[in-house]
Amino acid sequence: MSQPSGCPSFAVLGPPWADAPWPAWNPLAKIVHPTGWSFGCSDPGALINMLDFDLVVLGAGAAGMMGAMAAAHGGRRVLLVEPFMDQANNLAISGGLFPAAGSALQSQAGVSDSPAQWLADLRSFAGDSVNERIAVPVAQALPEMVDFLIGRLHAPIGFLPDVVSTGHSQCRFHSTLPAGGAALHHWFRQQIHAHPLVTLHLHAVNPQRGPQGFVLDVENQRVRAPHVLLAGGGFGANPAWVAQHIPAMRGALYNGAAHSDGSAIAWGLDWGGQLWGMDGFQGQGHTNPGGLTRLGMGIPALGGILVNRQGKRFVREDIGPSALAPWVMAQPQGLALEVFDAHIESGLAQHAAYQSALQAGQVLRADDVPGLATLAGVDAQGLQATLREVQAMAQGGGATDPLGRTHFARVLKGPWLASWVTGALSHTQGGLVTDGDGRVLDAQGQWITGVWAAGGCAAGLSGRGAEGYLPGNGLAQSFGLAWRMAQALGPAIP
């Protein structure tokens, strides 16, 4: 990896990307959990050189890698700091789906959509909890960002014409094929490694902000930069913050990144930032017990249902995976059985989350309903009665759902499949207040010069618990704000 001119001995600050072993502990760096991105060189007197970058990015998740790549393609010299490179981040764990209403790919597939239509869906879904400071800029940024990734970087991203989601009036999700956060994450890492203007540092730092910008110690070098992008992954791994800001999820299973502890938010607060939407989060009502796999959000849209141990439905399943999580947690033992059929499964071949759950042995199969009930350990009579009711509603004829669901995509019939799920906290949506370009704002609404934020540490697109989370909001904000930040920085001045 090449570096900005004047970079001597730390030309390669980390291992090769592909399945490389984690480097030995560096005595000049200290990683502290859970508030842990702190401290750099233990002996300031040993510093031998001053290095200048245009931008320091703290965190190599979706927002951090997007921001670093977009800024570097504008000629900016970027130092990307990620002390947890050996751990999965929220992008790698995610389903990897993001909306980009009005993209060229969507148009080529014959879908008429626009940023304005996505905004209308967001406002209809989330109501007055929409973060209007960023909603319009993010909506406009997403199709531009997709065009950049495909046209300039030849990203393996496609439009997903078969993914229907709660709250979206159009199919508008994009991802790798098959869809999955791990594949998208891997591609971004390859790009970061290859870019000559991006330098990667794998140890913790302690940036200091002063009148002339930021100073941080890296190995035995001192780095200066006029801009810092905070790109940490929220505070889902900080139980005290979760209990304070999201009491409904106190003690819930957390299946997000283990290092998303609020550290990046804390830095922004120290520099004068403000908070918004701290009650907002993405729940996940389709997580298999233990949290290692999940079914993905596609099964209810294709006609699947959820029942408890009595075989009874308890919620309209189409409220979305985030809002579903508290309902599942409220069932006996915090569990529900997601029931579907072989026809629905045939439509999940490109859904990486479901395929992972299938390979992990999380899916039960039976030819008839009594057999499925026996395998799952639920009340057979209750399950049989529930499925008869659902079949009647799916056939029409005047039957209405007392739980309020208005659409069942198909009449379910055997062979039958099912999987136990629980409610989980995937990632938080509250964070630092920014403008539409990612500038962190103080109490007077003024930019804290040089400080930017995107991703989990920045206020998301909507708040209000899990109900305000429109599927895809997390990556939409991460990619959209990071893209806007890079455009606001502009190209490097020769």
Token duo for residue 23: 């480097």
> What are the residues whose beta carbons fall under 8 Å from the beta carbon of 270, sequence distance 6 or more?
none
Query: Count H helices, E strands: the chain?
Result: 15, 21
Strands ordered across the beta sheet of 439-441: 198-201, 78-81, 55-58, 228-230, 447-453, 439-441
Output the pTM of the full model: 0.82
CA–CA separation, 454 vs 230, rounded Å? 7
pLDDT given at position 31: 27
pLDDT given at position 493: 80
Q: Give the pLDDT means over successive 10-residue stretches in the chain (494 positions).
A: 31 29 27 32 47 96 98 97 94 94 96 98 95 98 97 95 89 92 96 96 94 90 95 96 92 92 97 96 92 91 96 94 90 96 93 92 98 98 97 84 92 97 94 98 98 98 87 96 98 84
pLDDT given at position 398: 65
Nearest residue to 457 via CA among 247, 240, 200, 267? 267
pLDDT given at position 397: 64
pLDDT given at position 30: 24
CA–CA separation, 38 vs 214, rounded Å? 15
Q: Is the dihedral of CA 487, 492, 493, 494 positive or negative?
A: negative
pLDDT given at position 17: 26
Determine the residue type at 324. Answer: L
- Burial bucket for residue 230 (CB in 10 Å: 0-12, 13-18, 19+): buried
Topology of domain 34-95+179-280+429-494 in CATH is FAD/NAD(P)-binding domain (3.50.50)
Query: Can 34-95+179-280+429-494 and 284-424 be said to share one CATH topology?
Result: no
CA–CA separation, 146 vs 142, rounded Å? 6
190, 256, 353, 427 from 252: Cα distances, Å: 34, 12, 21, 12
> Where do the structural domains in the chain lie, given as residue ranges?
34-95+179-280+429-494, 284-424
Span between the terminal Cα atoms of the chain, in Å: 22
> What are the residues whose beta carbons fall under 8 Å from the beta carbon of 6, sequence distance 6 or more?
49, 51, 52
Topology of domain 284-424 in CATH is Flavocytochrome C3; Chain A, domain 1 (3.90.700)
For residues 254 and 291, is the Cβ–Cβ distance under 8 A? yes
For residues 3 and 11, is the Cβ–Cβ distance under 8 A? yes
Report helix, strand or coil for 186.
helix
Helix (H) or strand (E) holding 412: none
pLDDT given at position 37: 39
